[in-house]
Amino acid sequence: MLAVTFQSLRRVAVETVPDPVLLGSGDAIVRVERSAVCGSDMHVFHGRETGIDAGCVMGHEFLGEVVEAGPDAGVAVGTRVVSPFTTSCGGCRFCRIGLTCRCVSGALFGWVAGGIGLPGAQAEAVRVPLARSTLVPVPDGVDPDAALLCGDVLATGFFCAENGAVGPGDTVAVVGLGPVGLSAVLGAVHRGAARVLAVDDVPERLAVAGRLGGEPVDRSAVDPLEVVRDATDGAGADVVLEAVGHPSAARLAVDLVRPGGTVSSVGVHTAPSFPFSPVEAYDKNLTFAIGRCPARRLAEPLLELLRREEIDVSPLVTHRMPLADAVRAYDRFDRREDGCIKIVLEP
Ligand SMILES: NC(=O)c1ccc[n+]([C@@H]2O[C@H](COP(=O)([O-])OP(=O)(O)OC[C@H]3O[C@@H](n4cnc5c(N)ncnc54)[C@H](O)[C@@H]3O)[C@@H](O)[C@H]2O)c1
Ligand SMILES: [Zn+2]
Ligand SMILES: [Zn+2]
């Protein structure tokens, strides 16, 4: 089959690799109808995250049809499914408290290091271990692109708002308006935030934030700190949602939040330390919430919101490209070329 593989720093390739096969009784093979390129793929691409094997199949966002299922897979051949970006068992302590991303037997798609791990989904097919408790059937009537986003970025944006305990009437700032940050705008609006100040410097992304209920703040034209202070009588935002994964964004988030407020961070921070000191956190009575999204827990409720048409994620998918053009897709996503927000790859 065709698959996108990691080669070396800033190099991915579309190659022919062996078809996946069932390895365990709980495995399923999914024929990928769509996968997507994610900001997280860029950490590997640019070498900010290291250790992945050359030749590892990339990608962790996918939707498709179950074409083979082991006897314990718990999902019928022919079912259309979306997958969270990690597998989970559904029964361990962490799965039971809804922290499916920390499942003791879970794995991240598209991460094979030293021969150990789970090949990814930017491919024509993918093997899914723990299929029964990982895969989520896509309800009829939900647009497949929207459903695809429930496995990662949409879930992550909503998780960011949840982890920040955004509540009715809050003034929220969102730092970074990639697919994750834009989903965080939606999540904050959905939780009843009174104002959602959405910070980035990419014009197309600022415009989409406006369509989703946010107030665009172009950091290349205005000082976000001044905008947030003006909006809050000088106090700062109740909650700041950070969706970048760069020290500059974490620093801005801590500057924007009010004393006693919460910074909720879902950006993957690969720098060795936080760009704020313990005493700064102390002096602000800061709550700092951070971590990977338990997408398995969020996917089902999000699919239901989509089915009821309570949220509209259509502005997020801006490009669809053939899987065979993935090298160009990585480059386009990386450069944010041509108003690119989310690229869907079709085998
Ligand atoms: N926690 C999780 O489970 C999880 C899941 C998915 C993605 N992520 C992470 O979320 C982050 C965002 O992913 P994405 O796909 O939206 O990425 P992206 O690269 O498309 O978006 C990042 C955006 O941040 C903006 N930006 C950069 N520096 C900024 C700053 N200092 N202030 C304001 N905006 C700034 C960029 O212009 C860009 O629009 C990545 O770090 C990714 O790895 C985490
Ligand atoms: Zn992702
Ligand atoms: Zn588990």
Task: Compute the distance from residue 330 Cα to the ligand 2 centre, in Å.
Answer: 13
Between CA 255 and CA 249 the distance in angstroms is 10
CA 244 – ligand 1 centroid, Å: 3
Å from CA of 229 to ligand 2 middle: 32
Ligand 1 atom showing the smallest separation from residue 295 Cα: 3
**What is the pLDDT confidence band of residue 238, given thresholds at 50, 70 and 90?**
very high
Find where tokens 């410097």 sit: 201
Residue that has been written with the tokens 């039971």 in this structure: 96
- Nearest to residue 224, comparing CAs of 182, 180, 175? 175
Q: What is the DSSP string of 75-93?
A: S-TT-EEEE-SB---S-SH
68 touches 77 (CB < 8 A) = yes
- C-alpha span between 216 and 150 (Å, rounded): 24
Mean pLDDT of all residues in 78-103 = 98
Mean per-residue pLDDT over the chain, rounded: 97
Give residue 286's pLDDT. 98
Q: For residue range 255-297, what is the model confidence (pLDDT) as tens digits?
A: 999 999 999 999 999 999 999 999 999 999 999 999 999 999 9
State the residue for tokens 């989703």: 212
Residue 298, pLDDT score:
98
Rounded to whole angstroms, the Cα distance separating 200 from 241 reads 12
Residue 114 has a pLDDT of: 97
- The reported pLDDT for the residue numbered 54 is 97
Ligand 1 first shell, C-beta below 6 A: 38-40, 43, 152-153, 156, 175-181, 199-202, 205, 219, 243-246, 248-249, 252, 266-268, 292-293
DSSP 137: E
Dist. CA 91–CA 130, nearest whole Å: 11
Q: What domains lie within the chain, and their CATH numbers? A: 2-152+294-346 (3.90.180.10), 154-290 (3.40.50.720)
Strand pairing report for 257-265 and 287-290: parallel
Measured CA distances, 217 to 136, 177, 190 (Å): 36, 10, 20
pTM over 0.95? The answer is yes
Give the Å distances, CA to CA, from 145 to 31, 138, 245, 296, 320.
Answer: 16, 11, 25, 17, 10
Query: CA–CA separation, 143 vs 337, rounded Å?
Result: 25
pLDDT in tens, 156-200: 999 999 999 999 999 999 999 999 999 999 999 999 999 999 999
Ligand 3 centroid to Cα of residue 29, in Å, is 20
pLDDT in tens, 23-79: 999 999 999 999 999 999 999 999 999 999 999 999 999 999 999 999 999 999 999
